[in-house]
Amino acid sequence: MTVILTNDDGIDAPGIRALLSAVNGTGVLVAPSGHYSGCGHQVTTTQPIRVEKRSDREYAIAGTPADCSRIALNYLFPDTKLVLSGINAGGNMGVDVYISGTVAAIREAAFHRVPGIAISQYKKGKIPVDWNRSANLAAKVLQELSDRSYEPGFYWNVNLPYVEPDAPDPKIVFCEPCTQPLPSDFRIEGDDFYYCGNYGARKRDRGSDVDVCLSGQIAITQLKV
């Protein structure tokens, strides 16, 4: 069974290496050669997409996360049974899924009736991410989801919380996506607008993925095309 690993932070990002560790090195990397965070479901249709084969298990794609899924599923590995995206450096909760390239990669898989799971790691301020712990938590999540039957057109969005180094592993909570807007504050200097929204201060629906993750638990939502 071929498992494709992709992301939007780029094929050399530490998060996708953590995801590879979470699946014990069994996945095939088909990921962007560059950084595409926040690109949403953008696809490339008006210019060529260069595919660099680094090895039999690693392909760097000069395109978006959705491009990566399209090329992997239609040409490189049409026998793919699962697409995993992440581990993203930063949360992708609630309405983030419409902006996130991480989530777009598995939404594209859902278009093709292939199961997909997006995993993101919420970052608390400037505290460095412990990618080893993220990999361990991701492995637990994947084990939990592997026991659930696949429904065509559905896909999973997972957000790992910030956890203090000595704290026990957080619980897994299945919940609904938050419907509150993202912070959209800007600092204005002349004619230039600089985004300065505080992600961690966003509003949250009680019991939603934002509420669960920012409260220190693993938030899992099931989404549908």
Question: How far apart are alpha carbons 8 and 35 in whole angstroms?
Answer: 6
Question: How far apart are alpha carbons 69 and 111 in whole angstroms?
Answer: 10
Question: How far apart are alpha carbons 99 and 26 in whole angstroms?
Answer: 29
Class of domain 2-224: alpha beta
**Half-sphere exposure in the Cβ direction for 36 (13 Å, CA):** 32
Model pTM? 0.95
The number of beta carbons lying within 10 Å of the beta carbon of residue 16 is 25
The per-residue pLDDT string of the chain (225 residues; one tens digit each, 9 = 90 and over) reads 799 999 999 999 999 999 999 999 999 999 999 999 989 999 999 999 999 999 999 999 999 999 999 999 999 999 999 999 999 999 999 999 999 999 999 999 999 999 999 999 999 988 999 999 999 999 999 999 998 889 999 999 999 999 999 999 999 999 999 999 988 899 999 999 999 988 888 999 999 999 999 999 999 999 999
Question: How far apart are alpha carbons 40 and 66 in whole angstroms?
Answer: 9
Name the residue ranges covered by the structural domains of the chain: 2-224
* Percent helix, percent strand, percent coil in the chain, to nearest 5: 30, 30, 45
Q: What is the DSSP letter of 74?
A: I
31-83, pLDDT tens digit by residue?
Answer: 999 999 989 999 999 999 999 999 999 999 999 999 999 999 999 999 999 99
